[in-house]
Amino acid sequence: MKALVAAQHHAHRLASHLADRLREGRHDDRGEAIQTVIITAGLALLALLVIAAIKGAGGKFIDVVNGLTPNG
């Protein structure tokens, strides 16, 4: 559970960092910033899936996926 909370915090921090970089006015780095965040988010998701696989059963995988989706 701690790993999931840490990953969510990291994702929010990256999103905030991306928003700041896009607002700065340096438009030449915009594509690089977006690409960096997409790659980092993909690696974070992969790490969560590995954690779920290590913990065991498919139910844990569903818990991880549900933790990534917003509660509507």
Q: Is-above-0.85 flag for pTM?
A: no
What is the number of structural domains in the chain? 1
Residue 5 lies in a domain: yes
Residue-wise pLDDT tens digits, 2-51: 777 777 777 778 777 777 777 776 666 677 778 888 888 888 888 887 77
In Å, what is the CA distance from 17 to each residue of 10, 33, 60, 61, 72? 10, 9, 30, 28, 25
Is there a domain that residue 54 lies in? Answer: yes
Asked if residue 23 belongs to a domain, the reply is: no
Q: Report the distance separating Cα 25 and Cα 38, nearest Å.
A: 20
Residue span of the structural domain in which 1 resides: 1-15+36-66
pLDDT for res 56: 67
| Structural domain contains residue 29 | no
Alpha helices in 24-57 (DSSP H): 30-55
- Can you say how many angstroms the Cα of residue 30 is from the centroid of all Cα atoms in its chain? 19
Q: Specify if 2 maps to a domain.
A: yes
